[in-house]
């Protein structure tokens, strides 16, 4: 960047800082700022538009437009060029504003005489505050250096904490933090929790956005980055003897902490006149804007890593934040925009609950929260802005609801709910070592679903009889590179050790669709759920499956082994996958490695086609496991990830139950062991119905074992089957109402 532009920019920032520090009234100061910017940038116009509310921008100060338009001209987000800047959080730079897309003529401003327009967003920590605009009569496009300088100015402007006061928001803001607020988000891990807010990343206040001496700032930045790197290394060392998953995640941080591009951009910002912390924040804003715009899940996760590092760096530079500030409450409910799995593992089981502004059900953080059984609500819009450290909060993970600073009626109702849950937990604990035997003497075997080492302690706590589904892809998903065979073998061996002789059904890698490996090129498919996934990938590119099968055989090291292939849609896929297992066995024999004492090779039944596969298929497989999540989505043609259609079709729909019953009967005919491992197995009402139509093995989240067992032990399956049959005869769409009525009559 040209030296003189940098010097100009620094001078402007210093003048701005002086203007901000002056003891003049707010409006006067804002007017002075627009004057300073216009003069320094050599434009006739400089205007500041600020958000009045989420939807409307108001012209709050101007140099060059009609003064009478101030506080009169308003635009909706997306309206006109200014609205376009705000909506997309992107610069609009044009030499011919009236012809630009979206231009809207505001007659009261008198702006028709200005041809050139450059608008940049004013943002603070991802929050859109407004738009800063310069305009000139002369037809010219602003140079990249000028646009950059304007962005730097916008950054300093954003630090004027009293900006909100110009549009009457200021007063509302302070009251806001005392009222009770309810957030309706999404449910990512069930359970109810009460506690006090612990902000994962309390907002760091940058009080000195402008610096006098770039050399000093560069030194501060470089020292802070060194401290950051040491910190990340320490975290890595700390994790070294612990969890592999945590280690992998932290390695990604290390990569970012050493990123040259990130450092270079911050150094440029400092050269423009920003202080080190303002430079960090400017790049953080840019990353957040990108984060909102990228749809690729992997990229979003990486940008989130960068966001997290920026926060750490800001805390180091300002001495504010978690390390130095508030004490963590004894009953912390963590609130964050988003959180990485590594950070969540660091907090561990201390947390009572988690509330995120972003996140997704399939995110790595959600996987960890589930493994730790911590209630998690996602998509709680604006919770990080509303919540303050120490605020009282109640979260309902079942409904995805958060009550912040709840009033007394909510508190009473909520505590009743928690007390009921605690009672139920006691009841579950009392039957933990008892079988799930029904009143008419049928025993249903309950196993758990797992995927991380962190899941394994639940095997003993929940009373599960084994692991009915070990989703091996989770190990691949939480890493940044393909795991090696020896690593996998060690991990599987530890899983078998932890299971202590109980059966573990290892499902081979099930990737594709919503499960995208960070280090594999994503496939651009029109219908990923119907696309190249699971065993289809494994058979087309067998390298990874071969490595995985070998790792499993090595891990078993002479112990019994159970392996299951996902997403088998026709007989020859099973045969081909089984042939891979036979080859792996032959290879191990040649190498002189011990073979498993016994080996079972099964298939997941997740496509309706397999329900109608030849009898020989049923005879050949060692066992089948119904993946109800996928099976249901294909049976009803309703995407399991699409909230609009997902709940439309009930599992207890007569067609689906009858289809499942047909599968059960075929398995009885052919003597094929059968289980059900989709999420529905963990829902008590669904589970008893599955048992009623003949399923005797159900695999579910560990937390579901207690409730499912409890209901099974109180039900008469033959009677329930009669209720289901009657509902079918009656031509009902779903058997649920009759089943519910029957169960209620029994309690
Ligand atoms: C299923 O589809 O039901 C299943 C258990 O597999 P996943 O949820 O991992 O796709
Ligand atoms: Mg599946």
Tell which residue, 155, 167, 82, has the closest CA to residue 125. 155
> Per residue in 727-736, pLDDT tens?
999 999 999 9
User: According to the per-residue pLDDT averaged within each range, which of 58-62, 172-176, 399-403, 708-712 is highest?
Assistant: 708-712
Q: Which ligand is nearest to the CA of 449?
A: 1
Give the number of other Cβ atoms within 10 Å of residue 497's Cβ. 12
Asked if 477 and 586 sit in the same domain, the reply is yes
- Percentage, residues of the chain above pLDDT 90: 49
Question: Is 189 domain-assigned?
Answer: yes
What are 307-364's pLDDT values in tens digits?
A: 778 888 888 888 765 544 568 899 999 999 888 776 787 787 889 999 998 877 766 6
Q: Please tell me which residue, 32 or 575, carries the higher pLDDT value.
A: 575
Asked, for residue 188, whether it belongs to a domain, the answer is yes
Residue 157 pLDDT > 50: yes
64 or 524, greater pLDDT:
64
Work out whether strand 45-51 and strand 127-136 pair parallel, antiparallel, or are unpaired. Answer: antiparallel
Nearest to 701 by CA among 519, 486, 450: 450
**Structurally, how many domains does the chain consist of?**
4
Is residue 175 very low, low, confident or very high in pLDDT (cuts 50, 70, 90)? very low
pLDDT: is 274 or 599 the higher one? Answer: 599
Residue 177 a catalytic site member: no
Of 69-83, 103-117, 567-581, which gets the smallest average pLDDT? 103-117
Rounded CA separation 324/334 (Å): 17
Domain span including residue 220: 214-318
Show Cβ contacts of residue 693 under 8 Å, excluding neighbours closer than 6 positions: 657, 660, 661, 664, 721, 724
Atom of ligand 1 at shortest range from CA of 679: 3
**Which CATH number covers residue 188?**
3.50.30.10
Nearest CA to ligand 1 atom 6: 627
What pLDDT, on a 0 to 100 scale, did the predictor assign at position 514? Answer: 66
Q: What is the average per-residue pLDDT within 630-656?
A: 89
From the CA of 556, how far away is ligand 2's center (Å)?
25
Those residues whose C-beta lies under 8 Å from the C-beta of residue 230, and which sit 6 or more positions away, are none
Residues with Cβ within 8 Å of residue 122, at least 6 apart in sequence: 48, 50, 128, 129, 130, 131, 132, 154, 157, 158, 163
Tens digits of per-residue pLDDT, 484-525? Answer: 999 999 999 999 999 999 999 999 999 887 677 767 777 778
Q: Which residues contact 579 (CB under 8 A, 6 or more apart)?
A: none
Q: Can you tell me which atom of ligand 1 is nearest the CA of 510? A: 9
Mean per-residue pLDDT, 464-474: 93
Please, where are the H alpha helices in 42-115?
80-88
Residue listed under structure tokens 């201390």: 350
Q: Which atom of ligand 1 is nearest to the CA of 631?
A: 2
How far does the centroid of ligand 2 lie from the alpha carbon of residue 678, in Å? Answer: 8
Highest-pLDDT range among 172-186, 235-249, 319-333, 470-484: 470-484
Determine, yes or no, domain membership for 722.
no
Tell how far the Cα of 700 is from the centroid of ligand 1, in angstroms.
11
What's the confidence (pLDDT) of residue 168? 41
List residues bridging with 124 in a β-sheet. Answer: 127
Give CA separation, 516 vs 96, 301, 473, 534, in Å: 44, 12, 10, 11
126 in the same domain as 32 = yes
SS3 380: coil
Known active-site residue 593: no
Cβ(676)–Cβ(625) under 8 Å? yes
| Shared domain check, 140 and 245 | no
Residue 242 in this model has a pLDDT that exceeds 80: no
Select which of 304, 364, 379, 403 is catalytic. 364
pLDDT at 342: 65
CA of 469 to the centre of ligand 1 (A): 9
Atom of ligand 1 nearest to the CA of 449: 5
- 676 is a domain residue: no
| Residue 638 in domain | no
Q: Between 455 and 538, where is the model more confident?
A: 538
Rounded to the nearest whole angstrom, what is the distance from the C-alpha of residue 676 to the centroid of ligand 2?
11
Final residue belonging to a domain, choices 411, 426, 454: 411
Q: How many angstroms does the Cα of residue 649 sit away from the middle of ligand 2?
A: 18
Ligand 1 contacts (CB < 6 A) are 469, 471, 510, 606, 627-630, 677-678
Catalytic residue among 60, 667, 677, 689: 677
Predicted pLDDT at 324:
42
**Residue-wise pLDDT tens digits, 111-121:** 888 999 999 99
DSSP, res 679: G
DSSP state of 375: -
Pick the atom of ligand 1 nearest to 606's CA.
Answer: 2
Residue-wise pLDDT for 372-399, tens only, equals 889 999 999 888 878 888 899 999 988 8
* CB 120 within 8 Å of CB 173: no
Tell me: do 40 and 147 sit in the same domain: yes
Q: Which residue has the higher pLDDT, 503 or 21?
A: 503
491 shares a domain with 366: no
- The rounded Å distance from CA 682 to ligand 1 centre is 13
Contact 550, 580 (CB under 8 A): no
Q: Atom 1 (ligand 1): residue with closest C-alpha?
A: 627
Q: Indicate whether 587 belongs to any domain.
A: yes
Q: Which has the higher per-residue pLDDT, 473 or 241?
A: 473
Pocket test for ligand 1, best of 677, 680, 682, 697 (most atoms within 8 A of CB): 677
361 is a domain residue? yes
Q: Whose CA is nearest to atom 9 of ligand 1?
A: 471
Order of strands, edge to edge, in the sheet holding 116-124?
74-76, 56-63, 45-51, 127-136, 116-124, 92-94
Q: Which two tokens stand for residue 500?
A: 């202590």
- Residue 157: give its domain's CATH number: 3.30.450.40
Does some domain include residue 695? Answer: no
Residue 219 and residue 167 in one domain: no
Atom of ligand 1 nearest to the CA of 627: 3
Instruction: Show Cβ contacts of residue 495 under 8 Å, excluding neighbours closer than 6 positions.
Output: 450, 453, 456, 467, 470, 504, 555
408-450 pLDDT per residue, tens: 888 988 888 888 888 888 899 999 999 999 999 999 999 999 9
Same domain, residue pair 230 and 310:
yes
pLDDT for residue 228 is more than 70: yes
How many whole angstroms from 605 Cα to the centroid of ligand 2?
9
- Give, rounded to a whole angstrom, the gap between the first and last alpha carbons of the chain: 77
Query: In a mutational test of the pocket of ligand 1, which residue from 473, 678, 697 has the highest number of ligand atoms less than 8 Å from its CB?
Result: 678
CATH number at residue 605: 3.20.20.60
159 and 24 housed in the same domain:
yes
Compute the mean pLDDT over every residue in the chain, rounded to the nearest whole number. 87
Tell which residue, 331, 371, 362, has the closest CA to residue 243: 371
Residues 566 and 534 in one domain: yes
Question: Residue 362: its pLDDT value, please?
Answer: 63
Give yes or no: residues 532 and 476 share one domain.
yes
CATH number of domain containing 249: 1.10.274.10
Are 579 and 534 within one domain? yes
Cα–Cα distance for residue pair 358/340, rounded to 1 Å: 11
Q: Are residues 532 and 563 in the same domain?
A: yes
661 against 301, higher pLDDT: 661
pLDDT at position 126 is 63
Q: What is the pLDDT of residue 23?
A: 62
Q: What is the pLDDT of residue 309?
A: 82
């Amino acid at each position: 960047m040209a030296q003189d532009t940098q010097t100009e920019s620094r001078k402007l920032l210093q003048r701005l800082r002086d203007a901000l520090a002056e003891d003049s009234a707010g409006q006067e100061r804002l007017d002075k700022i627009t004057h300073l910017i216009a003069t320094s940038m050599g434009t006739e116009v400089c205007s500041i538009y600020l958000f009045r509310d989420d939807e409307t921008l108001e012209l709050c100060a101007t140099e060059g437009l009609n003064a009478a338009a101030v506080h009169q001209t308003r635009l909706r987000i997306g309206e006109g060029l200014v609205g376009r800047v705000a909506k997309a959080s992107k610069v609009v730079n044009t030499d011919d504003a009236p012809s630009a897309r979206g231009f809207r003529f505001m007659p009261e401003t008198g702006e028709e005489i200005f041809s050139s327009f450059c608008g940049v967003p004013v943002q603070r920590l991802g929050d859109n505050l407004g738009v800063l605009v310069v305009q000139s009569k002369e037809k010219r496009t602003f140079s990249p250096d000028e646009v950059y300088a304007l962005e730097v100015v916008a950054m300093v402007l954003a630090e004027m904490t009293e900006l909100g006061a110009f549009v009457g928001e200021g007063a509302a803001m302070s009251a806001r933090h005392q009222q009770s607020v309810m957030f309706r988000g999404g449910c990512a891990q069930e359970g109810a929790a009460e506690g006090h807010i612990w902000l994962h990343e309390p907002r760091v206040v940058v009080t000195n956005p402008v610096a006098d001496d770039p050399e000093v700032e560069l030194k501060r930045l470089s020292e802070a980055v060194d401290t950051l790197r040491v910190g990340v290394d320490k975290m890595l060392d700390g994790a070294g003897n612990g969890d592999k998953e945590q280690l992998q995640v932290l390695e990604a941080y290390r990569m970012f902490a050493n990123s040259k591009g990130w450092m270079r951009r911050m150094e440029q910002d400092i050269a423009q006149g920003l202080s080190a912390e303002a430079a960090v924040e400017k790049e953080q804003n840019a990353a957040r804007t990108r984060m909102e715009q990228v749809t690729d899940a992997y990229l979003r996760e990486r940008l989130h890593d960068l966001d997290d590092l920026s926060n750490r760096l800001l805390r180091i530079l300002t001495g504010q934040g978690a390390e130095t500030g508030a004490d963590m409450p004894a009953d912390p409910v963590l609130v964050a925009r988003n959180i990485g799995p590594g950070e969540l593992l660091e907090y561990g089981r201390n947390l009572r609950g988690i509330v995120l502004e972003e996140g997704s059900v399939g995110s790595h953080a959600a996987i960890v929260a589930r493994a730790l059984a911590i209630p998690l609500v996602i998509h709680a819009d604006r919770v990080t802005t509303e919540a303050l450290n120490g605020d009282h909060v109640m979260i309902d993970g079942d409904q995805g609801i958060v009550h912040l600073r709840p009033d007394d009626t909510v508190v009473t109702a909520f505590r009743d709910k928690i007390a009921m849950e605690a009672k139920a937990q006691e009841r579950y604990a009392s039957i933990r070592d008892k079988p799930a035997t029904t009143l008419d003497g049928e025993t249903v075997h309950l196993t758990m679903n797992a995927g991380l080492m962190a899941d394994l302690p639940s095997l003993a706590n929940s009373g599960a009889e084994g692991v009915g589904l070990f989703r091996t892809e989770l190990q691949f998903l939480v890493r940044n590179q393909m795991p090696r065979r020896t690593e996998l073998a060690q991990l599987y061996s530890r899983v078998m050790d932890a299971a202590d002789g109980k059966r573990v059904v290892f499902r081979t890698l099930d990737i594709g669709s919503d499960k995208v490996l960070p280090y594999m090129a994503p496939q651009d498919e029109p219908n990923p759920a119907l696309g190249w996934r699971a065993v289809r990938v494994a058979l087309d590119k067998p390298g990874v499956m071969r490595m995985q099968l070998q790792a499993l055989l090595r891990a078993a090291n002479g112990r019994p082994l159970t392996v299951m292939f996902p997403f088998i849609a026709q007989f020859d896929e099973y045969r081909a996958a089984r042939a891979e297992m036979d080859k792996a066995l032959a290879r191990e024999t040649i190498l002189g490695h011990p073979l498993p004492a016994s080996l079972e090779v099964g298939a997941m039944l997740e496509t309706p086609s397999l329900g109608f596969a030849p009898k020989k298929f049923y005879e050949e497989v060692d066992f089948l496991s119904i993946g109800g999540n996928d099976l249901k989505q294909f049976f009803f043609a309703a995407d399991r990830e699409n909230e609009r259609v997902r709940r439309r079709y009930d599992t207890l729909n007569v067609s689906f139950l009858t289809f499942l019953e047909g599968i059960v009967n075929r398995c009885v005919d052919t003597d094929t062991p059968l289980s059900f491992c989709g999420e529905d197995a963990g829902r008590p009402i669904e589970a008893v119905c599955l048992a009623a139509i003949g399923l005797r093995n159900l695999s579910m989240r560990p937390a579901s074992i207690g409730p499912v067992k409890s209901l099974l032990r109180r039900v008469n399956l033959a009677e329930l089957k009669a209720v289901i049959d009657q509902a079918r005869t009656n031509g009902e769409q779903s058997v649920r109402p009759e089943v519910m009525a029957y169960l209620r009559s029994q309690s």
